[in-house]
Amino acid sequence: MSTVKLLFSLLFMVSSITTRATTWEIEVGGGGGNGTPYFAPQNLSIMQDDVVEWNWVSGIHNVLSMSGPVSFASDTHFAPHTYAFEFSTPGTYDYICSYAQHSTTQFGTITVTPLTVLNAETEEVFDFVVSPNPAVEVIRLSKTIAGSVSVRIFDLTGKIIYNGWHSDMNVLIDCNQFARGICLVEMSSKDKILTKRLSLL
């Protein structure tokens, strides 16, 4: 396969992958003789239709919503266990672990931003620059519009090696943990997705 055809295939594969909602992970731990109960991160901001996955790493816990547009709850389980919930309704959700006295330290908040906010009309032209390119340790992503954008980096197998939301006009990303070679850097805002090629030396 030619280099041009290979790159086109990879870009098509990346586009199909990025139509899926983002899954965010929260660690559930402590208690059961293993320390103070906790959720980490305690506060999380996500987009509408994203999924939050709670992963029990120690102790016995549950997840119970206390306020918000929609209720959610898991059963009480010993670690290891996983509970997932898709947040299709925007708003602020407060939740706790109601097992024993865990709620005094094991509580959290999830803020869900509607997609219409991300897709607000703007007269600015959406674009971004990756520098330096090739890069060694750190890359800077400089975007042309204000507001939050999704940033994802894929290796050439289509695996997501970086995933985050950023509102700053310039974003610094540490690349030391990435394998050397060619990556695809994607930035999405509104209903537009841009992908740039990055070489890591």
Lowest-confidence pick of 10-14, 15-19, 60-64: 15-19
Whether 17 maps to a domain, the answer reads no
Write down which residue in 92, 115, 138 finishes a domain: 115
Same-domain check for residues 36 and 62:
yes
Whether 30 maps to a domain, the answer reads yes
Whether 7 maps to a domain, the answer reads no
Whether 41 maps to a domain, the answer reads yes
pLDDT of residue 78: 93
Same-domain check for residues 132 and 104:
no
**What are the tens digits of pLDDT across the range 133-157?**
999 999 999 988 888 889 999 988 8
Whether 3 maps to a domain, the answer reads no
Characterize the bridge pairing of strands 43-47 and 107-113: parallel
The answer on pLDDT for 8 being more than 60 is no
Q: State the burial class of residue 91 (Cβ atoms within 10 Å of its Cβ: 0-12, 13-18, 19+).
A: middle
Write down which residue in 115, 134, 162 finishes a domain: 115
Write down which residue in 91, 115, 139 finishes a domain: 115
Same-domain check for residues 96 and 56:
yes
Whole-angstrom distance, CA of residue 70 vs CA of residue 59: 27
Domain that holds residue 28: 23-115
Same-domain check for residues 27 and 104:
yes
Q: Which residue type is seen at 13?
A: M
User: Would you place residue 116 in the very low, low, confident or very high pLDDT band (cuts 50, 70, 90)?
Assistant: low
Whole-angstrom distance, CA of residue 149 vs CA of residue 44: 16
The answer on pLDDT for 118 being more than 80 is no
Q: What is the pTM of this model?
A: 0.52
Same-domain check for residues 31 and 103:
yes
Q: Which residue type is seen at 54?
A: W
